[in-house]
Structures are given as C-alpha cells and as structure tokens.
Amino acid sequence: MTLRVLLADDQALLRDAFRILLDTADDITVVGEAGDGGEAVRLTREHRPDVVVMDIQMPVMDGLTATSHIRADPELRASRILILTTYETDEHVARALRAGAGGFIGKSIGAEELLDAVRAIADGDVLLSPAATRSLVASFLATPDSTAPHQAGQLAVLTPREREMVALVATGLSNQDIAARMFLSPFTVRAHVQRAMTKLEARDRAQLVVIAYQTGLARAAPGAVS
C-alpha cells in the first residue's frame, strides 16, 4: 500500500526538499502541498491523505489550529497529523497533543528518520520518546485547560491484557517495541491497542496516552512536572 502524504509548510524550499525526499520511497507519495494552515485544511478535505506533515508557524492559520480543524472533522478521522517544526518546546508538544496530533518531531530529523516517522504515524504510533511522553503528558495534565479527567472506573471495560498494552503505550513504546517485550506479534499488539482505543473512545494513540495518565494507569516520573 502506498501512503499518501500532504505537506504543509510556508517555506517553499523546505516543502520541495521534503517532497523530493518522501518521493524517493516506493511506499510513499506526496499528494499535495500547502503554504498555510487554511490551505492545509482545505487540501486535507480534498485529498484525504493518510498523513499530513504539518509545520506550526504558518500564515493565515497556524499548524496547531489547522490540526484541530482536521481532527474535529469526522470525515477526516483517517488522516493523521505529524507535526514537524523547528520549535521543539514542551508547550508546543502539549498543544499538539491537545489538538490531536499523532506525532511531534524536529526539522533536524534525518532523512531515514522522517520516512520512518511518516510510516509510524500512518500505522497509528505516537512519535514521542518514552522520556518525552512521560514529562510532556504530565505537563499536559497539569495545565488548567486540559481535557476533563477520566475516572479510573472507565478502565473496567478493558481486559487485563488491554490494560497492560495501554500502560506500555503510555511509556512511549511503539507496537514493535511492545511486541518484542511481550513476545507477541506486532499484529496482535496492534489489535489489542485498537480495541482499547475503541472501548475508551480514544481518537488516536496520543489520546490513549493521555487517558492512561488521567486514570492513573500510568504515572509520571518524579519531577516530570515542575
């Protein structure tokens, strides 16, 4: 299957570089390019890409606002957002998670890492390192405008194995990492994670991570929140 990618960045030279790089992969094709957030939303509705590679700082509408618009549209549920930016701050990452982004990486990323990132996002993984996941989600939960907390009782709908999977997802592990740790196939892990997402009504793995912390299934490392 060929992954369809939309690029959104106000710098034409960077878009060109990313397009050339992504088009070198046999399993990835760029279906459109947007120079601002508003155009990114419009082109996402037009092309229905698998992944939108979204910059934050753009005219007309910034990337995080564009992400919120895309994720709020039920018809665009299948389009996942990868935030690719120069500004790798805790505040931006927390806002990206609230907006519904599935990943957040810096523009200093290498060529192969970008290709792997697009594939991982398309597969439903959250692209945050384990340490970043713990600290950033803890910061997310500490902010006044965080989403309404989930109650631990909501986890009753999960099987013990599904709870175990959600807890591991909350540490930032990918399906491949969990499979290796649990001696399971990636397909089995993905099935458990997807069932947990459905039961908890999580729109993506990023929200599943947040729910894990909000219910107490996962806990931030000491000192994660200043």
Terminal Cα-to-Cα distance of the chain (whole angstroms)? 44
Q: Is residue 23 domain-resident?
A: yes
- Mean pLDDT lowest for which of 136-145, 148-157, 168-177? 136-145
Q: For the residues 145-156, what does the mean pLDDT come to?
A: 66
**100 and 10 in a common domain:** yes
**95 and 164 in a common domain:** no
Residue 135 pLDDT? 56
The parent domain of residue 156 ranges over: 138-214
Burial group, residue 60, by CB count within 10 angstroms (0-12, 13-18, 19+): middle
**164 and 121 in a common domain:** no
Residue 103 pLDDT? 83
The mean pLDDT value of the chain amounts to 84
Nearest one of 24, 193, 46, 49 to 124, comparing CA atoms = 193
**207 and 167 in a common domain:** yes
71-82 tens-digit pLDDT: 999 999 899 999
**147 and 74 in a common domain:** no
**31 and 11 in a common domain:** yes
**117 and 8 in a common domain:** yes
**115 and 26 in a common domain:** yes
Q: Is residue 219 domain-resident?
A: no
**55 and 164 in a common domain:** no
Number of domains present in the structure of the chain: 2
**96 and 36 in a common domain:** yes
Those residues whose C-beta lies under 8 Å from the C-beta of residue 226, and which sit 6 or more positions away, are none
**Which residue do the tokens 């000491």 mark?**
222
Residue 92 has pLDDT above 90, yes or no: no
Among 68, 98, 127, identify where a domain stops: 127
Amino acid 83 reads I
10-67 tens-digit pLDDT: 999 999 999 999 999 999 999 999 999 999 999 999 999 999 999 999 999 999 999 9
Distance CA 139, CA 94 (A): 7
